[in-house]
Structure 1
């Protein structure tokens, strides 16, 4: 079935009680038909693959050429054949079947037939395959319409269903619309045939309707079965021609359907909050099967009711808008009539605008923070742990629940002191004793010692009250610096103490009686000479080498 040049053109098969042949008819309205006087495609010779019957034609017009794929029978098996024509009446057959039986054990190893072909980037054929028991739908592709390759690894792309098509599938009719393949086919439940509907994006994975779309009538020419559909789309009308069966004979019937709009919009009523509020997060949930979509837009109005422009919010985002009125609209779209998107729910969080924020420390006086969207407050607190409570006050004077934060104030660093060798002025040893004293609200944890005021090269070490320290080499004044660190990481200012290192002994000599070698008197004259880095304060004289 095609609509060509203002004329409906139908190729169909007829049965004379012995064989099936293909006929041709035309119509101006799709209802009143004029038959061609005789078959336009006859059976073949006695030994030909189509000697017993030709049936179930599918015709497309490719340029100026009519191309037909049809079912050929030799009385034992069904195969798919091909013919071409310049006028749709006089046909030239391809010499042999273009799609033969499938391999042994395949779903189509006993017969193939009832082809439907779509040409886009390649030729695509859906056909019926029989395994000797049931019919299923297979799929093949071709670059020229003659040499075909089975797709889906040779497996059926539509298998038996569970309801009206549980016992067999037949006569697919496929067209492509908006990038989606739409198939009408008939299904058998073992008692009657009924026409079903399915869609696919790749021609392999199909989603079928759970119930038939065209059932047999209660009485009349099609009370026993509706089958072998062929259809076209005209605007919002779908026109279908089908085989009606009454239990003994078949006739061609006609049905129409209005194509349901595949897009729509829902507009919510305006929501009035009764006064100015702050709009917060907006959340919504949807169900969008493949091939469907949903979009949401919102608008708001302040007191006075002047609506703003529609805009697209972010799902889960914070709107941060002050308004009194709120409205939304939902646009839904589907690529076929069997799939429907669902807008399930929408939740808008809102609250009255905040007039001020207040804070209180440890249950004391409430202080007002400064700000409009973010607030800042300064409250003096001593070192230690405190609980700060907050509350918001809206424009109507209502108070929020409290929320709080536990804070620890450590504004004052540790304080301390250092004493070297009990505050002695001199030392003759480089190793000195340091007495350290430090205090802090949170406890002193570490100390750092150095002879450099910038503590270069020094590292932190655990705090001790007494520790040994080795000063640098060389006599002179030695300054030792220390700083302390508390458990919160707060560092003290550096403090220091000093001591004079005098590790070098005085040098000197003694002369007796001006250097004479002998004396006759026990009393002698002693002359001394001595030097030192520091002032000499004492001397000891003795005839005992040990100065005892």
Structure 2
């Protein structure tokens, strides 16, 4: 694949105390024929994130049409799994018009740095406001997924909610700092609310350098293949790079990371890291929204696909 980087779409502008820095994990959603609503998490001075939306032109995604007036929902109550941050990761519309927003709740730890579990919020007003389905995670911890059940992406197909997410329990020291270790797992649900206690591992770490994957994003090609866009965390870089894989069933993946074609740019906002790719096809064009250095410190960007020659 070859992408043309179009640059930063939206940068944090300190419009309010809850929007001092960052614009993390861009999550594009086709609101209507003219508008891509990009759900994104902005951070306060303490790096606590809350979700907002940025509407962009569906034919020119560098053109901002509007920014939501405030957080779509606040962080959780003290002691909740999301009391230190809400990171939108996946948004899907149901047949009745409601919108499900799956998010990673950020909770600080004492003996571990943090925990990430998945929550669900619902909008009945076309994505203007969201309310939690419950105060507890819809992906609660389990024996093999004690610390991480986050980074959710939900794909609805044939009446089934299909979920890909990152999961794990472990930490390891890398250059004197404890870093998480997690793999990509898969689960299914009939209603999008009740999920199995554990998922099936569908993408495992390879080699001695990888120690984690970032938020997965799934699309489906014209020939029926599942396409996985994800981020790879490596010990040697201590920063994310983008990966790509294909599958006939969404479970057995063939990694084609070298064919992703979207990498860091020296001297730019994504000079050290590139992550959280989210791909959307609209009006005959394919766009990839993503973050750069320090998890979106300078905002979120977009690239346009100019050619897609994936090997067989």
The interval holding the TM-score normalised by the smaller chain is: 0.7 to 0.9
Corresponding residue for residue 174 of structure 1: 218
The match for 2:106 among 73, 79, 82 is 73
Give the superposition deviation at 1:47. 2.6
Give the superposition deviation at 1:233. 1.6
The match for 2:291 among 243, 246, 249 is 243
Corresponding residue for residue 129 of structure 2: 90
For residue 173 of structure 1, give the secondary structure of its aligned residue in structure 2. strand
Give the superposition deviation at 1:127. 0.7
Distance, in Å, in 2 between the alignment partners of 1:52 and 1:4 is: 28
Deviates more, 1:127-136 or 1:138-147: 127-136
The match for 1:20 among 44, 49, 60 is 49
Distance, in Å, in 1 between the alignment partners of 2:73 and 2:151 is: 16
Q: 2:214–2:231: 8 Å Cα contact kept in structure 1?
A: yes
Q: 2:89–2:215: 8 Å Cα contact kept in structure 1?
A: no
Distance, in Å, in 2 between the alignment partners of 1:227 and 1:39 is: 23
Q: 1:13–1:57: 8 Å Cα contact kept in structure 2?
A: no
Distance, in Å, in 1 between the alignment partners of 2:306 and 2:197 is: 35
Corresponding residue for residue 254 of structure 1: 302
Question: Are 2:86 and 1:54 equivalent residues in the alignment?
Answer: yes
Corresponding residue for residue 191 of structure 2: 144
Give the superposition deviation at 1:129. 1.1
> Higher relative CO (CA 8 A, sep ≥ 6), structure 1 or 2?
2
For residue 210 of structure 2, give the secondary structure of its aligned residue in structure 1. coil
Corresponding residue for residue 6 of structure 2: none
Q: 1:196–1:213: 8 Å Cα contact kept in structure 2?
A: no
The match for 2:311 among 316, 339, 342 is 339
The match for 1:131 among 166, 169, 179 is 169
Corresponding residue for residue 277 of structure 2: 229
Change (3 A) 1:234 1:247: closer
Q: 2:152–2:166: 8 Å Cα contact kept in structure 1?
A: yes
Corresponding residue for residue 155 of structure 2: 118
For residue 202 of structure 2, give the secondary structure of its aligned residue in structure 1. coil
Change (3 A) 1:17 1:117: same
Distance, in Å, in 2 between the alignment partners of 1:30 and 1:69 is: 23
Distance, in Å, in 1 between the alignment partners of 2:285 and 2:299 is: 23
- Unaligned regions of 5+ residues in structure 2, if any? 1-27, 110-114, 172-180
Structure 1 segments (4+ residues) deviating >6 Å? none
Alignment length (residue pairs)? 258
Change (3 A) 1:218 1:207: same
Change (3 A) 1:161 1:238: farther
Change (3 A) 1:213 1:167: farther
Distance, in Å, in 1 between the alignment partners of 2:295 and 2:72 is: 27
Q: 2:77–2:83: 8 Å Cα contact kept in structure 1?
A: yes
Change (3 A) 1:113 1:250: farther
Q: 1:117–1:125: 8 Å Cα contact kept in structure 2?
A: yes
- Unaligned regions of 5+ residues in structure 1, if any? 261-336, 341-548
Q: 1:223–1:246: 8 Å Cα contact kept in structure 2?
A: no
Q: Give deviations 1:165-221, integer Å, cap 9, x for gaps.
A: 723211101122342211100112221311111111222111111425321111111
Give the superposition deviation at 1:256. 1.2
Corresponding residue for residue 185 of structure 1: 230
Distance, in Å, in 2 between the alignment partners of 1:247 and 1:70 is: 16
Larger-Rg structure? 1
The match for 2:63 among 16, 20, 32 is 32
Change (3 A) 1:220 1:150: same
RMSD: 2.1
Corresponding residue for residue 38 of structure 2: 10
